[in-house]
Structure 1
Amino acid sequence: MTSSPADPVNPADPADPADPDVALVLAAYAAYARGDIDAAVAGLDPEVEWVEPEEFPNGGARRGRDAVHAYLCASFAMWRELHSEPVAYRRGGEVVVVHHAYGVLADGGALDVTVADVFTVRGGRVVRMHAYADPAEVL
């Protein structure tokens, strides 16, 4: 589910962190950044649809909390040192997160990347996440 171009994200207007959907999503980023993958997936619907760009390491579509847990474990293992700076925005019923991640990879190389993740939250659970390698596709 995506919004139309008539419903853009305003990068100058971050979402209210007290919004329960925004708080849920940002808590997952914080958990991931500290390596607590169990907490990172706690707010996911058991049948969550999770789509990462094909060009990402282990990219592609997954269904279910367990599949996302395995993906996030593998993703986190790629980092020796991770800095995570997510900024959330509201776009209609979606929470859009522009995520700046940088640090040192397990192999010693550096990585500095900014992506956009679009979350659909229903009934206090993330039911869908679609990631974009280029935030301009969402913004």
Structure 2
Amino acid sequence: MPAHDLASTAPADVVRRQYLASATGDLQMWRTAVADDVEWIEAAGFPLAGTYRTPDGVIKGVFEQLAAAWDGWVTHDDTYVVDGERVVVLGRYSATNRATGKSMSVRVAHCFIVRGGRIVRFEQIVDSAGVHAAMTP
């Protein structure tokens, strides 16, 4: 991401910054992309299904759990569709489950709402069957 985009408050740039921070493990940068009262929804059927609030809630409830259960978790943000404050990202997850050693690559859609240069809401849509297949011995 070009340096000038790191300060941009355009919704797509904020979402890209969130992905970059997540991929590099830069939680300080990630925190600058999300609101203090962020609502983070992991899809029903996904192992971490539920709604998480606050950056600390997302880090503890989602990021730390993924890191504990999966090796090489990567979110590939392939396509961005922007409509004002709404950003939909089509992509995929890839990782290897630590318990089974099975790899997965599943399609996802992430729906963001960005206001005032921060992500206020995230909703995950995911092929949870592929995730569960990698988790099943």
TM-score normalized by the length of structure 2: 0.74
Matched residue count: 118
Quick check: 1:96 aligned with 2:88?
yes
Q: What is the SS of the residue equivalent to 1:57?
A: coil
Cα distance in 2 for partners of 1:116, 1:43 equals: 19
- Farther-moved stretch of structure 1 (123-132 vs 73-82): 73-82
Cα distance in 1 for partners of 2:28, 2:47 equals: 21
Contact 2:9 2:116 in 1 (8 A): no
Q: What is the SS of the residue equivalent to 1:75?
A: helix
Aligned pairs for 1:63-102 within 5 A: 63-70=53-60, 71-86=62-77, 87-102=79-94
The residue aligned with 2:118 is 125
Structure 2: 5+ residue stretches without partners? 128-137
Cα distance in 1 for partners of 2:38, 2:105 equals: 28
Cα distance in 1 for partners of 2:68, 2:91 equals: 18
Which structure has more helix as a fraction of its residues? 2
The residue aligned with 1:40 is 30
CA 1:37–1:56 in structure 2 vs 1: closer, same or farther (change >3 Å)?
farther
The residue aligned with 1:113 is 106
CA 1:105–1:39 in structure 2 vs 1: closer, same or farther (change >3 Å)?
farther
Amino acid at match of 1:94: R
Quick check: 1:51 aligned with 2:44?
no
Structure 1: 5+ residue stretches without partners? 1-16, 135-139
Quick check: 1:21 aligned with 2:6?
no
Contact 1:37 1:73 in 2 (8 A): no
TM-score normalized by the length of structure 1: 0.73
Amino acid at match of 2:19: Y
Q: CA deviation at 1:121?
A: 0.5
Amino acid at match of 2:97: L
CA 1:58–1:83 in structure 2 vs 1: closer, same or farther (change >3 Å)?
closer
Alignment RMSD (CA, Å): 2.1
